Amino acid sequence: MDSLFSVPLKDGIVTSVDLSRSLDDLSETIVQYGQNVLCVADTNSARYLPSGVNHLVLPPGETEKQWQSIDRILSAALSYGMARDGVFIAVGGGVILDMTAFAASIYMRGARCVLVPTTLLSAVDATLGGKTGIDYGGGKNLVGTFYPAERVVIAPQTLLSLPEREYRCGLGEVVKHAFLSSDRTLFGFLEREHDAVLARSEEAMTEMIRLSLGVKISYITRDPEERKGIRSALNLGHTFGHALEAIRGFSISHGEGVAWGVGRAFDAGVAIGITDPGYAAQARSLMDLYGFDSTRCIVSDEFPAFSLAIGKDKKKKGGEVRFVLMAGQGEPVLMPLPDDAVRKAVVENG
């Protein structure tokens, strides 16, 4: 294991982020926690569980992110006789990580928690910042806690078994981080190492995750509990993207939705004079390089439903939806947008 970061979070808690050198290294690390543990995976990530450890394997998918799964995790922990100083080890994508950390946060009023992300999205987006939870009453992540993990173990080797669609989903978030970064390092890396990134070279994935996490860390450490608005910038592309996902019946992936939304945010920003047009053009070419379609694709008849979906966006403040626009590299601006500006940014020939 190599140490990547040490991230100070809520109440003096520090999350260590480590990098595994190989799958054997990952297994040894998990085994070293001993018997007072519960490893939680889904049927797709279970291949990365070392043999002989206490474990629970859940069915995969967002629809499993619910109370019943939390109940299963807590019951498994109890049946293994796990004590309060026991460790919940989540091995999986964001669904498994969020649920396991939630269960850890309420088990005996708070047990230890280690996260091993096995999707690119979860590695760069769901490991740091302490958000845990489940979907509830038809809404995403409506029940949960802030409970930073004590340790995150990044194992890029696990990403080789990820379906292409899931890998691209993570790339959408990485590209978003490239624009939010205060410097052009990640942006330049993605331009230069495009082939290696798409070929999933271990070296390229490791560097991409390291740089991407660095950007996320710079936002969350300034706003650990999402109360100052700084962290909201990480929602770049999400308001537009979620609305597209909603009206297209979730046939497009979250990452594709976010990348599309980032493109729309750039267009809207240019149209109202917030975004530097030269920077928007560079950003668009990076998205093109990775094959993310960010063209205006809402037909006029779809706009009422799209607008309604935007209104439901949970990041409303004082009843108002605030969009994340970009002035330039690393310069997010949060602001409401009139319906007309939204229409112009998303409707074909709008």
Ligand X SMILES: NC(=O)c1ccc[n+]([C@@H]2O[C@H](COP(=O)([O-])OP(=O)(O)OC[C@H]3O[C@@H](n4cnc5c(N)ncnc54)[C@H](O)[C@@H]3O)[C@@H](O)[C@H]2O)c1
Question: Least distance in Å: CB of 277 to ligand X?
Answer: 30
Strand partners, 17: 5, 152
Question: Least distance in Å: CB of 186 to ligand X?
Answer: 18
d(CA 32, CA 45): 20
Query: Whose Cβ is closer to ligand X: residue 185's or residue 253's?
Result: 253
Strand partners, 347: 298
Question: Least distance in Å: CB of 93 to ligand X?
Answer: 2
61 Rama sector, left if φ>0, alpha if ψ -120 to 50, beta otherwise: left
- 95 binding ligand X? (CB under 6 A): yes
- Site track for ligand X across 119-148, x = CB under 6 A: x-xx--xx--x-x--------xx-------
Whether the CB-CB separation of 342 and 320 falls below 8 Å is answered with no
Question: Least distance in Å: CB of 60 to ligand X?
Answer: 3
Burial of 339 (0-12, 13-18, 19+ CB in 10 A): exposed
User: In this chain, which stretch among 61-69, 78-86, 292-300, 337-345 interacts with ligand X, using CB under 6 A?
Assistant: 61-69
* Sheet strands (E) in the chain: 2-8, 14-19, 37-42, 55-58, 87-92, 112-117, 134-136, 139-143, 151-154, 316-317, 320-321, 323-326, 332-335
Question: Least distance in Å: CB of 339 to ligand X?
Answer: 28
Q: Which of 18, 42, 226, 267 binds ligand X (CB under 6 A)?
A: 42
Q: Which of 93, 241, 257, 263 binds ligand X (CB under 6 A)?
A: 93
Query: Whose Cβ is closer to ligand X: residue 69's or residue 275's?
Result: 69
Query: Whose Cβ is closer to ligand X: residue 45's or residue 54's?
Result: 45
d(CA 190, CA 197): 8
Number of residues in the chain? 350
Q: Which of 4, 169, 186, 197 binds ligand X (CB under 6 A)?
A: 169
Query: Whose Cβ is closer to ligand X: residue 39's or residue 95's?
Result: 95
Question: Least distance in Å: CB of 176 to ligand X?
Answer: 11
Reading the block at residue 120, the tokens are: 């690119």
Number of chain residues interacting with ligand X (CB under 6 A):
28
Reading the block at residue 213, the tokens are: 């996490």
- 158 binding ligand X? (CB under 6 A): yes
Query: Whose Cβ is closer to ligand X: residue 234's or residue 265's?
Result: 234
Reading the block at residue 99, the tokens are: 């649920």
Question: Least distance in Å: CB of 96 to ligand X?
Answer: 6
Whether the CB-CB separation of 268 and 261 falls below 8 Å is answered with no
- 235 binding ligand X? (CB under 6 A): no
Query: Whose Cβ is closer to ligand X: residue 248's or residue 343's?
Result: 248
d(CA 105, CA 57): 19
Query: Whose Cβ is closer to ligand X: residue 7's or residue 96's?
Result: 96
Question: Least distance in Å: CB of 126 to ligand X?
Answer: 3
- 60 binding ligand X? (CB under 6 A): yes
Question: Least distance in Å: CB of 285 to ligand X?
Answer: 26
Residue at 246: amino acid letter:
A
282 three-state secondary structure: helix
Buried b (16+ CB within 10 A) or exposed e, 274-306: bbbeebbebbbebbeebebebebebeeebbeeb
Whether the CB-CB separation of 145 and 132 falls below 8 Å is answered with yes
- 166 binding ligand X? (CB under 6 A): yes
Residues in contact with ligand X by CB under 6 A are 42, 44-45, 60-62, 65, 92-96, 98, 118-119, 121-122, 125-126, 129, 131, 140-141, 158, 161-162, 166, 169
